[in-house]
Amino acid sequence: MQKEFNDTGLCIPNRHYMVDNSDKLKQIIALVEKGKYFTINRPRQFGKTTTLFLLANQLNLRDDCVALKISFEGIDTDSYQNQAIFISIFLDMLIEEFEFLQLSELVDFTRQHVDTTPNLRALSRFITKLKRDRIPKKSVVLLIDEVDKSSNNQLFLDFLSMLRDKYLQQHEGRDHSFQSVILAGVHDIKTLKRKIRPDESSGYNSPWNIAIDFKVDLSFAPHEIETMLQDYSLDKQIQFDISAIAEQLYYYTSGYPYLVSKLCKLIDEEIVPNRADKNWLIDDVETAFKMIVKEGYTTTLFDSLIKNLENNQELYELIFHIVINGKSFNFTIADPVINLAHLYGILKPTALEHCQIHNRIFEQRVYAYMMSKFMRSKYGDINGFGGPEYVTTEGLDIKLILQRFQAFMRENHAKPDRNFLEREGRLLFLAFLKPILNGRGFEFKEPVVADERRMDLVITYQNQRYVIELKRWYGEKYHQKGLQQLSDYLDMYSLKKGYLLIYDFNKGKIYKEEKISFQDKEIFAVWV
């Protein structure tokens, strides 16, 4: 069977191009060998199911271990209303695992207990006898995938409490239980709210407080992405700059597993086939990036991203301030909104522990969505059309675009509401720019975490690049700092010309423009 890059469901080594994650598996196995209980809580499509699959396979290759991998995804809500039904489903899952592992004696033993295990106390005794009498010389590891849907059910919490009690008694030498229990889901089960008594309001009294924090990084580092590309290169008998392309893939995805595979799939199946030369180019990664962030391109991950924002107004506001207004927030899990954004994979901490959108693809998708929502609900097409005067023989006339936007702001916001402009002034420019590009060009918002609340916008048009920095006016000192930042950023693209759009919220401000020579750069700036 021919291999492919996989962007749906489980990744299987002999069917899909995959990164070499042996180092990650070694770290997880070390936790299992120490008898740790933990939850692999990571965002959607972050490789949790694949990790459990590979981990179970590795453990079952050992002579001293039996790994039982099951999933709670198919258990419906009604099944959690009755202990006997839930336990029967759980035992059926174990039977299927024993059959898969060809452990016929354990299949028969478990079947004998299906009808005689009506409650959790009886299930506890079954687990004791299974480990003590049937598998005494091997470690038994239980892996449960898709536990999020179960987490709101009291019976599931009682099930975890039973496992916790057995864990504690096993360490006292009073019981026999699983060597390790591993749960997988988006949320951290340790922080589940649990009712102590039926008439008591929910509080944080986790039935899973025995679990350790899971700190293994499941994202793909550039050197790990290289292993997948090397496999692909050997399989296809082609050569390309694997290291450079791996770095570029990481640049856009920050190692988010699904996004790495998706970009590779686009290059392999939609970009390279259109060329005679099948070798990959660095520009192919940028082309794939433009495809995946294009309006109208949908995936379940992007749908989930927007749904999570729309379902929580506080979360929406936080991300809006970061993406559109460039505000900086300290990254702290103690803040429930920041923690939620982290669980969903929207935010990650920077080296200085500031909040940052996890990756450039998410940043661009969120930015485009918020801009579209703003235009649809408030202004529509504020520019009317993108006339030919904006286009020159060399590409776009960015100077004219900024001058026209300045005139628009002077005419329509002569007495602006300060709060409105601070919140949505940048969106006004992006909405103004949209009909000018009109599918012929592409604007990319570069993520920035800084104290100046600036936005760097990169426009590509007819193979030309233009960099516009949008920022607030804080005075001459910060202006000079901003010029240095823009100069450094222009160096990344080997450009000598840049543009500044400066929002001045001070009373008595002057609408002006200025041509600035800074170091070896020519910078055109307008104030609005």
Tens of pLDDT along 218-256? 999 999 999 999 999 999 999 999 999 999 999 999 999
Q: How confident is residue 416, by pLDDT bands cut at 50, 70 and 90?
A: low
The pLDDT, as a whole number, for residue 379 is: 59
The pLDDT, as a whole number, for residue 493 is: 86
The pLDDT, as a whole number, for residue 294 is: 85
Rg (CA), the chain: 28
* Same domain for 419 and 351: no
Domain presence at residue 460 = yes
Nearest-angstrom CA–CA distance, 312 and 296: 23
Domain presence at residue 17 = no
Q: Assess whether pLDDT exceeds 70 at residue 350.
A: yes
Domain presence at residue 309 = no
The pLDDT, as a whole number, for residue 160 is: 94
Domain presence at residue 214 = no
- CA distances from residue 375 to 141, 317, 368, 454, 500 in whole angstroms, order as listed: 53, 17, 11, 21, 23
Top pLDDT among 204 and 330 is at 330
Top pLDDT among 158 and 419 is at 158
pTM, entire model? 0.88
* Same domain for 167 and 50: yes
Contact 9, 258 (CB under 8 A): no
The pLDDT, as a whole number, for residue 448 is: 63
Per-residue b/e over 8-37, b at no fewer than 16 CB within 10 Å?
A: eeebeeeebbbbebeebbeebbebbeeebb
Domain end call among 204, 232, 256: 204
Domain end call among 259, 293, 327: 293
Q: What is the mean pLDDT of residues 281-307?
A: 92
Q: Assess whether pLDDT exceeds 70 at residue 368.
A: yes
The pLDDT, as a whole number, for residue 453 is: 58
Domain presence at residue 328 = yes
* Same domain for 236 and 90: no
Contact 209, 160 (CB under 8 A): no
The pLDDT, as a whole number, for residue 202 is: 42
The pLDDT, as a whole number, for residue 200 is: 44
Q: What is the mean pLDDT of residues 280-293?
A: 94
Domain presence at residue 181 = yes
| Most confidently modeled range among 278-282, 292-296, 364-368 | 278-282
Contacting residues for 406 by C-beta, under 8 A, at least 6 apart: 511, 513, 526, 527, 528
Q: Assess whether pLDDT exceeds 50 at residue 101.
A: yes
| CATH at 182 | 3.40.50
Top pLDDT among 362 and 482 is at 362
Nearest-angstrom CA–CA distance, 214 and 331: 19
* Same domain for 124 and 48: yes
Contacting residues for 407 by C-beta, under 8 A, at least 6 apart: none
Q: Assess whether pLDDT exceeds 50 at residue 447.
A: yes
List pLDDT tens digits, range 311-325: 999 999 999 988 887
Top pLDDT among 386 and 90 is at 90
Overall number of domains in the chain:
4
* Same domain for 174 and 27: yes
* Same domain for 51 and 161: yes
Q: Assess whether pLDDT exceeds 50 at residue 199.
A: no
The pLDDT, as a whole number, for residue 201 is: 44
Q: Assess whether pLDDT exceeds 70 at residue 419.
A: no
* Same domain for 338 and 288: no
Q: What is the mean pLDDT of residues 93-99?
A: 98
* Same domain for 173 and 34: yes
Q: Assess whether pLDDT exceeds 80 at residue 191.
A: no
Structure tokens at 53: 């699959």
The pLDDT, as a whole number, for residue 383 is: 61
Q: Tell me the DSSP string of 359-402.
A: -HHHHHHHHHHHHHHHIIIIISSTT----GGGEETTEE-HHHHH
Q: What is the mean pLDDT of residues 89-118?
A: 97
Domain end call among 337, 358, 380: 380
The pLDDT, as a whole number, for residue 194 is: 46
* Same domain for 340 and 264: no
Q: What is the mean pLDDT of residues 132-142?
A: 97
The pLDDT, as a whole number, for residue 418 is: 62
Top pLDDT among 297 and 175 is at 175
* Same domain for 147 and 33: yes
State which H helix or E strand residue 438 sits in.
Answer: none
Pairing of strands 203-204, 193-194: antiparallel
Q: What is the mean pLDDT of residues 280-308?
A: 93
Pairing of strands 139-145, 65-71: parallel
Nearest-angstrom CA–CA distance, 364 and 203: 38
| Domain span holding position 415 | 385-528
Any idea which of 62-66, 193-197, 464-468, 495-499 has the lowest mean pLDDT? 193-197
List pLDDT tens digits, range 483-508: 998 998 899 889 999 999 998 877 77
Nearest-angstrom CA–CA distance, 528 and 515: 15
The dihedral formed by the CA atoms of 342, 344, 345 and 347, expressed in degrees to the nearest 10: -40
Top pLDDT among 514 and 504 is at 514
* Same domain for 274 and 366: no
Top pLDDT among 36 and 202 is at 36
Nearest-angstrom CA–CA distance, 484 and 490: 10
Structure tokens at 135: 């598998």
The pLDDT, as a whole number, for residue 427 is: 80
Which residues are registered as beta bridge partners of 513?
526
Q: Assess whether pLDDT exceeds 80 at residue 380.
A: no
* Same domain for 517 and 438: yes
Q: Assess whether pLDDT exceeds 50 at residue 259.
A: yes
| Mean pLDDT across the chain | 89
Domain presence at residue 82 = yes
Top pLDDT among 9 and 262 is at 262
Top pLDDT among 243 and 75 is at 243
Structure tokens at 234: 């050997």
Domain presence at residue 305 = no
Q: What is the mean pLDDT of residues 190-207?
A: 51
- DSSP code, position 119: S
